[in-house]
Amino acid sequence: MTAERSRTAGALRIVVLTTSYPRYQGDYAGTFVAAAVAHLRELGHEVEVVSPQNFRHFGIAYGHGVIGNLRRRPWLLLLLPLMLLNFRRAARRAARGADLIHAYWLPSGAVALGLGPALVLQLPGSDILLARRLRLFSRPVLRRAGAVICPSNELAEEARRLGARHVRVISPEFDIPAETSEEGEPATVLFAGRLSPEKGILELVEAARGLNLVVAGDGPLRKRVPQALGFVSYEKIGELYDQAAVVACPSSREGFGMSCAEAMAHRRAVVACPVGGLRDLVVDGETGIFVPPGDVEALRAALETLLADHKLRRRMGAAGRKRILELFTWGPMLERLLETYDLALEGRARSSV
């Protein structure tokens, strides 16, 4: 164990603050948070999770997410201060005697300020948009965090511009199946994700007219995508990846690109846009095909190219899985996470002297 890792050599008491965490077996909400918690506990660290299951959230959490729920029901803004107060109280109780707080999402970071332990703030993606719009709110949180974690290099640069001092790029964990299966027949295009404008779902529906398109997800555009399956279980989404010939990820904005990473892990060729975390995941022409955001004709052409060439999509799928196994497995990510904890703990120790 190196000197730099000395602080995490022993067991830490860690408090995880999150606005999304699985509520039951098969719940897809916050699964990457739960996976990280499980790995930290396996290493012997004591981890306490504070989520909306621990305090009254007035229906603001879960469902369409905090921001999505507030947009759909603006009157919930009146209850937001009460929710954050309840969150703060629960966080304060949990933080007594803790070594470190790991806060997922920007509001959780705001809740954690001033509680005492070292703070690591993780921004999954949409938080950056919120931080840009609410700079007076976000800058103090980003600047006071001992370390900030982002899922892609593009978002890390944005976080630095917004005031974050110590930024690390760590991808969220996702399911990597031990084995993969051959695609089903007839060849289908799969979209898995939130049905919202930035995900490019309407452009995909237009581009895929006449093709076998399967849409798994829910969101504000659900009525405009009547064939959508809605939210599906964690197990069901794995089956859909296995059945698909091609997975479409036509987002105009993406923090990490979870559905793209999962598709590649399932050995599926992808069609994606070169934005956010998708730029880190996809190698154009090797693991998938990049198309400009919002370009329906280019999206259609890429889908047709892959659907017409079984050998090409099989080759790209194999290259994608290899890339995932080399770069995005949990072992290297856990190492980077522990190094980030060290950074925050050392900063906290210096400020206490």
pLDDT, the chain, mean: 90
Is 90 exceeded by the pLDDT of residue 132?
no
Q: How far is residue 134's CA from residue 114's CA, in Å, rounded to a whole number?
A: 20
Output the six-digit token pair for 216: 């798994």
Would you state the pLDDT for residue 6? Answer: 42
Would you state the pLDDT for residue 352? Answer: 67
Average pLDDT over residues 259-280: 95
Quick one: fold of 3-174+329-352?
Answer: Rossmann fold (3.40.50)
Output the six-digit token pair for 112: 């954690």
Q: What is the pTM of this model?
A: 0.81
CATH of domain 189-327: 3.40.50.2000
Would you state the pLDDT for residue 4? Answer: 39
Is 90 exceeded by the pLDDT of residue 54?
yes
Q: How far is residue 278's CA from residue 288's CA, in Å, rounded to a whole number?
A: 11
Q: How far is residue 165's CA from residue 185's CA, in Å, rounded to a whole number?
A: 50
Q: Which residue has the higher pLDDT, 2 or 342?
A: 342
Q: DSSP for 137-157?
A: HHHHHHHHSSEEEESSHHHHH
Would you state the pLDDT for residue 233? Answer: 82
Beta bridge pairs of residue 288? 270, 284
Element (DSSP H or E) covering residue 107: helix 106-112
CB proximity list for 268: less than 8 A, separation 6 or greater: 183, 190, 241, 244, 245, 246, 247, 313, 317, 320
Cα distances (angstroms) measured from residue 22 to each of 29, 62, 63, 115, 303: 5, 10, 12, 25, 34
Of the pLDDT bands very low, low, confident and very high (cuts 50, 70, 90), residue 9 is low
Would you state the pLDDT for residue 273? Answer: 98
Q: Beta strand pairing status for 46-50 and 13-17?
A: parallel
Cβ distance 170 to 340 under 8 Å? yes
Is 60 exceeded by the pLDDT of residue 216?
yes
Average pLDDT over residues 289-310: 97
Output the six-digit token pair for 182: 């051959």
In tens, the pLDDT along 222-250 reads: 999 999 999 888 788 999 999 999 999 99
Specify the domain boundaries for CATH 3.40.50.2000 within the chain.
Answer: 3-174+329-352, 189-327
Would you state the pLDDT for residue 271? Answer: 98
Count CB-CB contacts under 10 A for residue 11: 12
Q: How far is residue 160's CA from residue 148's CA, in Å, rounded to a whole number?
A: 9
